[in-house]
């Protein structure tokens, strides 16, 4: 216990004293237009532990911070303490790097959380006063809704800068997506996104980026056919537009045309000679992980993402999540836990991380913790229908049958409008939700309803 207190004091002092240096380090990183410093892949296999003691590993893990080093600790109680402290320190770093005080709220130690809030708020104030364009671009790169206010100010002061209109349109579209995930009306933000991109057209009608961003807005609407039409137009205007290939890949993926998505991502990678677009490799990592014959390629692309020094925390977090999911499938649960925690430190409000962590807890037979994790996912994104399947399973294992049935029915009501779900996967998810209701009735000895919902599940697949 004394060691934990001393280490906590050390970490607080470290961040308080070094904030000035850290702040300017982050700012300098943000000025790098490529965002990438090296392209050496890392090895995602379990790290080699060369620490003389648990305490040495603990200090190294919390100082870097690097959650994975905590796995070198032999004392199980210390591992959990190490992970918590390393997570807190990484959250602190991410809050400053993303200029987002909200991230600080996830820190579990009061002193570190307060220090984080103060330092991040000061950094935001400084940037608003001294370099609003840089702040706006940082918010854009981390997909923060704070980008809206910053770019609204910029387009108001400079109505001829087309790049600012592009960024504002994207920010409105992403806000619309966020509202949809919360079960709220998204149309007002999509209307603003279309209005903004039309103003960009007035500046340059033949700009490839105009149609790429318009395509992205249509994806969120969602109108995937129109999105694909706009991506095609963007690529016709500029067949070297890497971002248009990435966007079209995503639209094809959502339609279930995975081979077309893979082709577009490979084309984007071919054009990306200097590996400046990290999202190519995170998308490849994610897409390839869905095919057992491409798991090796998926891991290779995930490792490329992790090895790149980039401010694109969304792509980094996705790579860590995918690797975590791969290790869950391999039953390497310690490694999976470390990867999920790394992803959580980067994007603590990403519902998918908590879904993955809930599945991991299910494998560990810790159904109470699985329920907590999946409820966190639903709190962040209540319209993600697949979350309700995982929650229903956790509830069944705790013999909470009535709750499980209600949760599964809630999931069924969300599937059709769930924009996060591939069209090709919607029928299978409905089937599984019907099956889970059937299994619940089986546990209760209600044979009639068991057979009824099993048949409903079978019929879903017959009609698709």
**Fold classification of 350-464 (topology level):** 1.25.40
Report the pLDDT value the prediction gives residue 5, as an integer from 0 to 100.
43
Tens of pLDDT, residues 165-209: 999 999 999 999 988 888 888 899 999 999 999 999 999 999 999
Report the pLDDT value the prediction gives residue 2, as an integer from 0 to 100.
43
Rg (CA), the chain: 23
pLDDT grade, residue 7 (50/70/90)?
very low
Tens of pLDDT, residues 120-143: 999 999 999 999 999 999 998 888
Q: Is the pLDDT of residue 156 over 60?
A: yes
- The rounded distance, in Å, linking the Cα atoms of 431 and 454 is 8
Q: Is the pLDDT of residue 35 over 70?
A: no
- The rounded distance, in Å, linking the Cα atoms of 462 and 464 is 6
pLDDT grade, residue 419 (50/70/90)?
confident
- The rounded distance, in Å, linking the Cα atoms of 335 and 46 is 7
- Secondary structure of the chain as H, E, C letters: CHHHHHHHHHHHHHHHHHHHHHHHHHHHHHHCCCCCCCCCCCCCCCCCCCCCCHHHHHHHHHHCCCHHHHHHCCCHHHHHHHHHHHHHHHHHHHHHHHCCHHHHCCCCCHHHHHHHHHHHHHHHHHHHHHCHHHHHHHHHHCCCCCHHHHHHHHHHHCCCCHHHHHHHHHHHHHHHHHHHHCCCCCHHHHHHHHHHHHHHHHHCCCCHHHHHHHHHHHHHCCCHHHHHHHHHHHHHHCCCCHHHHHHHHHHHHHCCCHHHHHHHHHHHHHHCCCCCCHHHHHHHHHHHCCCHHHHHHHHHHHHHHHHCCCCCHHHHHHHHHHHHHHHHHCCCHHHHHHHHHHHHHHCCCCHHHHHHHHHHHHHCCCHHHHHHHHHHHHHHCCCCCHHHHHHHHHHHHCCCHHHHHHHHHHHHHHHHHCCCCCHHHHHHHHHHHHHHHHHHHHHCCCHHHHHHHHHHHHHHHHCC
- The rounded distance, in Å, linking the Cα atoms of 375 and 390 is 10
Buried b (16+ CB within 10 A) or exposed e, 63-92: bebbbbbbbbbeeeebbebbbbbbbbbbbb
Report the pLDDT value the prediction gives residue 47, as an integer from 0 to 100.
60
Kindly state the percentage of the chain with pLDDT values over 70: 90
pLDDT grade, residue 1 (50/70/90)?
very low
- The rounded distance, in Å, linking the Cα atoms of 86 and 64 is 8
Tens of pLDDT, residues 329-372: 999 998 899 999 999 999 998 999 999 999 999 999 999 999 99
Flag the least confident range among 8-12, 215-219, 311-315, 350-354. Answer: 8-12
| Contacts with 413 (C-beta within 8 Å, 6 or more apart), sequence order | none
Could you identify the residue written with the tokens 């159904």?
A: 367
Report the pLDDT value the prediction gives residue 45, as an integer from 0 to 100.
52
Indicate the domain borders of the chain. Answer: 1-32+44-130, 284-347, 350-464
- The rounded distance, in Å, linking the Cα atoms of 449 and 434 is 11
pLDDT grade, residue 308 (50/70/90)?
confident
Report the pLDDT value the prediction gives residue 171, as an integer from 0 to 100.
95
Q: How many CA atoms lie within 13 A of 416 on its CB side?
A: 3
- The rounded distance, in Å, linking the Cα atoms of 113 and 85 is 12
What's the pTM value of the predicted model, to 2 decimals?
0.79
Report the pLDDT value the prediction gives residue 28, as an integer from 0 to 100.
38
| Contacts with 364 (C-beta within 8 Å, 6 or more apart), sequence order | 333
pLDDT grade, residue 43 (50/70/90)?
low
The residue among 249 and 180 whose pLDDT is bigger is: 249
Report the pLDDT value the prediction gives residue 13, as an integer from 0 to 100.
39
- The rounded distance, in Å, linking the Cα atoms of 376 and 451 is 32
Asked if 83 and 71 touch (Cβ cutoff 8 Å), the reply is no
Q: How many CB atoms lie within 10 A of CB 13?
A: 12
| Contacts with 98 (C-beta within 8 Å, 6 or more apart), sequence order | 138, 142, 144, 313
Buried b (16+ CB within 10 A) or exposed e, 177-216: bbbbbeeeebeebbebbbebbeebeeeeeebbbbbbbbbb
Burial of 51 (0-12, 13-18, 19+ CB in 10 A): middle
pLDDT grade, residue 464 (50/70/90)?
low
Asked if 154 and 136 touch (Cβ cutoff 8 Å), the reply is yes
Report the pLDDT value the prediction gives residue 197, as an integer from 0 to 100.
97
Q: How many CB atoms lie within 10 A of CB 322?
A: 26
Tens of pLDDT, residues 373-390: 999 999 999 999 999 999
Q: Write down how long the chain is.
A: 464
- The rounded distance, in Å, linking the Cα atoms of 137 and 142 is 9
Kindly state the percentage of the chain with pLDDT values over 90: 72
């Amino acid at each position: 216990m004394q060691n934990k207190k001393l280490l906590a004091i050390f970490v607080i002092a470290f961040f308080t004293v070094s904030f000035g240096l850290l702040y300017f380090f982050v700012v300098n990183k943000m000025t790098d237009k490529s965002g990438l410093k090296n392209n050496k892949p890392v090895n995602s296999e379990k790290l080699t532990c060369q620490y003389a003691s648990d305490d040495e590993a603990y200090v190294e893990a919390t100082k870097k911070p690097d959650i994975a080093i905590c796995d070198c600790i032999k004392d199980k109680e210390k591992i959990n303490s190490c992970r918590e402290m390393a997570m807190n320190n990484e959250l602190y770093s991410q809050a400053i790097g993303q200029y987002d005080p909200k991230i600080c709220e996830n820190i579990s130690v009061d002193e570190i959380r307060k220090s984080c809030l103060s330092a991040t708020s000061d950094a935001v104030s400084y940037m608003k006063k001294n370099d609003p364009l840089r702040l706006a671009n940082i918010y854009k790169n981390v997909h923060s809704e704070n980008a809206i206010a910053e770019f609204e100010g910029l387009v108001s002061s400079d109505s001829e800068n087309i790049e600012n209109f592009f960024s504002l349109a994207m920010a409105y579209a992403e806000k619309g997506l966020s509202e949809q995930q919360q079960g709220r009306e998204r149309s007002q933000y999509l209307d603003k996104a279309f209005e903004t991109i039309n103003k960009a057209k007035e500046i340059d009608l033949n700009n490839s980026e105009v149609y790429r961003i318009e395509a992205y807005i249509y994806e969120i609407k969602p109108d995937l056919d129109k999105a694909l039409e706009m991506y095609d137009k963007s690529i016709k205007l500029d067949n070297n537009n890497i971002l248009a290939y990435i966007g079209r890949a995503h639209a094809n993926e959502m339609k279930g045309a995975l081979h077309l998505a893979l082709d577009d991502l490979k084309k984007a990678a071919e054009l990306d000679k200097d590996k400046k677009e990290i999202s190519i490799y995170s998308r490849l990592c994610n897409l390839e992980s869905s095919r057992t014959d491409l798991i090796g390629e998926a891991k290779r692309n995930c490792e490329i993402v992790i090895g790149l020094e980039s401010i694109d925390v969304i792509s980094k977090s996705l790579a860590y999540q995918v690797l975590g999911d791969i290790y869950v499938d391999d039953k390497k649960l310690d490694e999976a836990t470390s990867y999920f925690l790394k992803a959580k430190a980067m994007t603590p409000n990403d519902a998918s991380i908590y879904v993955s962590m809930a599945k991991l807890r299910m494998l560990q037979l810790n159904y109470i913790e699985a329920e907590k994790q999946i409820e966190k996912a639903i709190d962040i994104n209540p319209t993600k229908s697949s979350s309700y399947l995982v929650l229903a399973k956790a509830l069944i294992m705790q013999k909470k049958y009535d709750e499980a049935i209600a949760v599964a029915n809630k999931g069924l009501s969300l599937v059709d409008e769930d924009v996060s779900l591939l069209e090709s996967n919607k029928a299978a998810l409905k089937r599984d939700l019907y099956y889970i209701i059937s299994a619940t009735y089986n546990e209760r000895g209600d044979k009639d309803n068991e057979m009824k919902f099993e048949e409903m599940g079978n019929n879903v697949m017959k009609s698709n």
